[in-house]
Chain A
Amino acid sequence: GAGVSQSPSNKVTEKGKDVELRCDPISGHTALYWYRQSLGQGLEFLIYFQGNSAPDKSGLPSDRFSAERTGGSVSTLTIQRTQQEDSAVYLCASSVRVGKNIQYFGAGTRLSVL
């Protein structure tokens, strides 16, 4: 596809369970970002990958959150032992690291922790 693809589009889980969210960036984009949007809030930066460099994890809210990017393409965001406050829309974006940082977003995964 031409755009950023995220799956699943919706995820309902029970408190304490682990979840994995997937992002497939735009082909050729070397940078990949994860954000989350809680109800009534703006987008909150979580983590950033650029090529083979070490990721910028400065936005991850706790050690229950982790992400990896395999082969410089697909990324998985994992949340362990989910809590109700993790409920949010998780958005992935990618960009071409040439010139200004215009990021292109996927439709997001809506996570609901019961």
Chain B
Amino acid sequence: DQQVKQNSPSLSVQEGRISILNCDYTNSMFDYFLWYKKYPAEGPTFLISISSIKDKNEDGRFTVFLNKSAKHLSLHIVPSQPGDSAVYFCAGNRGGSEKLVFGKGMKLTVNP
């Protein structure tokens, strides 16, 4: 049972354009969501998070949107930069549970 789904395995965008990474979840008990970025041979790096009481959180070029009724969240990167090329993981957390439940990841390539 895959509770967090990233249905697109990859995305390619031009430098300066917007990157939109999508994530769907099935567990309605999740109340906190996180995005991690991972470069090859490195561990995942925390990027941005959002609580279920919000529908948007912004940090510089990164914005996460949460649609609870659709059980959907998305990460927007504007403008995209070549250094953003990495694998992005979406994760959900249920209040009171310590583990993060991750999607399979999505590879973003930003072309110069």
Q: Which residues of A contact B (CB under 8 A)?
A: 4, 31, 33, 35, 40-45, 48, 50, 56, 58-59, 91, 93, 100-108
Contacts and interface: CB of A to CB of B under 8 A. Distances in A.
Contacts of B6: 42
B98 A48 contact: yes
B33 to A, nearest CB: 10
Given A4-B43, A42-B104, A100-B32, A33 B98 contact: yes
Interface size class of B (residues with CB under 8 A): 20 to 34
B34 to A, nearest CB: 7
Nearest to A40: B104
B99 A33 contact: yes
A100 B100 contact: no
Interface in B43-75: 43-46, 49, 51
B46 A104 contact: yes
A108 to B, nearest CB: 6
Contact of B104 (A4, A35, A41, A59): A41
Given A33-B99, A42-B105, A43-B102, A101 B32 contact: yes
Contact of B41 (A103, A105, A107): A107
Contacts of B99: 33, 45, 48, 56, 58-59
A107 to B, nearest CB: 5
Contacts of B36: 105
Given A100-B49, A101-B32, A42 B102 contact: yes
A23 to B, nearest CB: 11
Interface in B21-38: 32, 34, 36
